[in-house]
Amino acid sequence: MPSYTWRSIWNAKWVLHLGGLWRIGNGRSISIKEDPWLPNQNGFRIWSTCSSFDSETRVEQLIDQETIRWREDIIRQNFYHFEAEQILNIPLDQNQQEDCYYWKKSKNGECEVKKAYHLIRSQPQNHAQSSNQEHQNRFPWKLLWNTKALNCTLNFTWRLLTSSLPTRINIQKRGITSTSLCPRCWRKEETEEHIFKDCTWTQRFWFASPFNLRTERAQNHPIGAWIEELLNQIRKGERGLFLECLHAIWWGRNKLIFEDKKIDIQELVNRATLRYQEFTVMSMPTENFTAEPPPGSRSLMCWVPPEPNLFKLNVDAAISNEGANGGGAVIRNSEGEIMVAATWLFSTTSTIEAEATACLLGLNLALECCFFLFSLRRR
Ligand SMILES: [Zn+2]
């Protein structure tokens, strides 16, 4: 566990995000789409969609490396007029030094406690009731509970629809002082509507998802109404996949906030699809599988259910002669119903290491899916 001081510093890093800005040198460290680098713009980040760039495209790409001038044609093609003008007016460093990150709110560029305090106080303290609240009371809950999906995903969606997720705006409503701004765009408050539907990042996610959704059209819809509408529109067999997509957005958001990891949109879409496929396979009627265990297998061992209200996590690993190792885990309730299951490929050198890796991955899976009370069995 990191020290109290370090944790406090880490928790306050959003203040640096609010007031911090990149000064352009050679442009190699600055992401055009993700980083703050426009000194005269609210939030310092670009607003243009720049669809021909991805999050890895650097400001360097906008600079002609021979003449050290802005590449005006590319800039005018990709940015809104007012942004293009701003960019072209930023002076370029002819010595092409490294980019540097500085604190915009003070003269010497260093973060000062007093200035940071004023900045925090100036953040919107909007405690307005979410429009979701009103919709909550009339959400057709049967529609949710009849959707075939992992129990943890159903549970997550229920928390989303009842405003129980610890979004930044919900945390602020409970009196904890922190920023309420979205950690992806730093432009709007992080409400359920913003995270799951309206953020420009989320709009790209939904467009890349198997549903090809254009969420710009649903900008004013409360989240509950929007989810209800989509669940009704989507074919029954794909509703669970839609919920997995919502879950993936939240998972990616937590990775960003708590581990500082930016997960690629495509990777999140793949994760949602894979989890849904695994669920569909696991929930097929068991007659479809051969009941006879392979000769010499130990699977004649009888599975004993956990006590009521507990879950049981079973893990196993296998080492093949070709060196391709893998493991699997399954979490079941006291009725023997499968809650979640997963398989992994990994490289280990010994059986014991493979077993330990499978145990670790299984425990991670359990925590990720919010199963805190369980017993663990290794085959
Ligand atoms: Zn956002």
How remote is the CA of residue 198 from the centroid of ligand 1, in Å? Answer: 7
How remote is the CA of residue 132 from the centroid of ligand 1, in Å? Answer: 18
> Do residue 276 and residue 157 come from a single domain?
yes
Strand extents, DSSP E, the chain: 20-23, 63-64, 69-70, 100-103, 311-319, 325-332, 338-346, 374-378
Confidence of residue 52 (pLDDT cuts 50, 70, 90): confident
How remote is the CA of residue 185 from the centroid of ligand 1, in Å? Answer: 4
How remote is the CA of residue 186 from the centroid of ligand 1, in Å? Answer: 6
Name which residue leads in pLDDT, 288 or 191: 191
How remote is the CA of residue 136 from the centroid of ligand 1, in Å? Answer: 23
Does 23 score more than 80 pLDDT? yes
pLDDT mean over 268-280: 92
Q: Is residue 332 in some structural domain?
A: yes
> Do residue 241 and residue 170 come from a single domain?
yes
How remote is the CA of residue 160 from the centroid of ligand 1, in Å? Answer: 17
Confidence of residue 161 (pLDDT cuts 50, 70, 90): very high
Nearest by Cα to 242 from 266, 264, 275, 220: 275
The pLDDT of residue 107: 63
328 has which bridge partners? 316, 343
Confidence of residue 288 (pLDDT cuts 50, 70, 90): very low
Q: Is residue 192 in some structural domain?
A: yes
Confidence of residue 4 (pLDDT cuts 50, 70, 90): low
Q: Which of 86, 121, 156 is the last residue of a domain?
A: 121
pTM above 0.75, yes or no: no
> Do residue 149 and residue 258 come from a single domain?
yes
- 181 DSSP assignment: B
> Do residue 319 and residue 365 come from a single domain?
yes
> Do residue 105 and residue 156 come from a single domain?
no
Confidence of residue 125 (pLDDT cuts 50, 70, 90): very low
How remote is the CA of residue 183 from the centroid of ligand 1, in Å? Answer: 7
Does 253 score more than 50 pLDDT? yes
Q: Encode pLDDT of 179-216 as tens digits.
A: 889 999 998 999 999 999 999 999 999 999 999 998 88
CATH number at residue 317: 3.30.420.10
Q: Is residue 344 in some structural domain?
A: yes
Least confident segment among 7-11, 112-116, 229-233: 7-11
How remote is the CA of residue 197 from the centroid of ligand 1, in Å? Answer: 9
- Roughly how many angstroms between the first and final C-alpha of the chain, as a whole number? 31
> Do residue 216 and residue 331 come from a single domain?
no
The pLDDT of residue 127: 38
Q: Is residue 130 in some structural domain?
A: no
> Do residue 182 and residue 257 come from a single domain?
yes
> Do residue 266 and residue 163 come from a single domain?
yes
How remote is the CA of residue 193 from the centroid of ligand 1, in Å? Answer: 10
Q: Is residue 267 in some structural domain?
A: yes
Residue type, 280: T
Return the structure tokens found at 320: 């093949």
Does 41 score more than 80 pLDDT? no
How remote is the CA of residue 189 from the centroid of ligand 1, in Å? Answer: 8
How remote is the CA of residue 93 from the centroid of ligand 1, in Å? Answer: 31
Domain count along the chain: 3
> Do residue 179 and residue 271 come from a single domain?
yes
Burial (0-12, 13-18, 19+ Cβ within 10 Å), 256: middle
Whole-number percent of the chain with pLDDT over 70: 77
> Do residue 347 and residue 265 come from a single domain?
no
Q: Is residue 50 in some structural domain?
A: yes
pLDDT mean over 244-248: 97
Dihedral over alpha carbons 228, 233, 239, 244 (to 10 degrees): -70
Residue type, 271: R
Most trustworthy range by pLDDT among 81-85, 265-269, 291-295, 351-355 = 265-269
The pLDDT of residue 32: 92
pLDDT mean over 138-157: 89
Q: Show the domain range for 316.
A: 311-378
Q: Which of 265, 282, 299 is the last residue of a domain?
A: 282
How remote is the CA of residue 282 from the centroid of ligand 1, in Å? Answer: 35
> Do residue 114 and residue 83 come from a single domain?
yes
Does 321 score more than 70 pLDDT? no
How remote is the CA of residue 196 from the centroid of ligand 1, in Å? Answer: 9
Q: Is residue 358 in some structural domain?
A: yes
The pLDDT of residue 323: 62
How remote is the CA of residue 46 from the centroid of ligand 1, in Å? Answer: 13
Q: What is the mean pLDDT of the chain?
A: 80
Q: Is residue 258 in some structural domain?
A: yes
pLDDT mean over 157-177: 85
The pLDDT of residue 153: 92
pLDDT mean over 29-47: 82
> Do residue 109 and residue 174 come from a single domain?
no
Confidence of residue 300 (pLDDT cuts 50, 70, 90): very low
Return the structure tokens found at 277: 């496929």
C-alpha separations of 71 from 47, 75, 76, 81, 96 in Å: 19, 6, 9, 15, 15
Q: Which of 87, 121, 155 is the last residue of a domain?
A: 121
How remote is the CA of residue 200 from the centroid of ligand 1, in Å? Answer: 6
